[in-house]
């Protein structure tokens, strides 16, 4: 299993990234971790039907995504033979 970890910041990029992931990988989880900053108003409703996509909302102080990545490392369990891609 591969876990994709994406700081959810630029909403307008999500549709193309999702299309790329789902057409190249079958066994994945995509962790979209939203912080306090947001750019764009693109609806993400199309992702609700895919149980491989998991949403999180955390408070952040910085816009760069480090806090979202650290949240994944400290708070989300994976198997020892899983791969994680930030």
pTM over 0.85: yes
For the sheet containing 83-85, what is the strand order? 53-57, 28-39, 2-10, 83-85
Whether the CB-CB separation of 82 and 4 falls below 8 Å is answered with no
Asked whether the beta carbons of 56 and 32 are under 8 A apart, the reply is yes
User: Strand, coil or helix: what is 24?
Assistant: coil
Read off the pLDDT of residues 12-50 as tens digits, 9 standing for 90 and up: 999 999 999 999 999 999 999 998 888 888 899 999 999
Rounded Cα distance, 46 and 50, in Å: 8
Give the pLDDT confidence score for residue 17 in this predicted structure.
95
């Amino acid at each position: 299993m591969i876990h994709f970890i994406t700081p959810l910041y630029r909403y307008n990029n999500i549709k193309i990234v999702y299309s790329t992931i789902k057409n190249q990988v079958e066994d994945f989880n995509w962790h979209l971790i939203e912080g306090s900053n947001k750019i764009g108003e693109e609806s993400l409703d199309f992702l609700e039907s895919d149980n491989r996509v998991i949403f999180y909302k955390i408070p952040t102080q910085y816009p760069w995504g480090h806090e979202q990545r650290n949240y994944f490392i400290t708070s989300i369990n994976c198997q020892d033979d899983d791969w994680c891609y930030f």
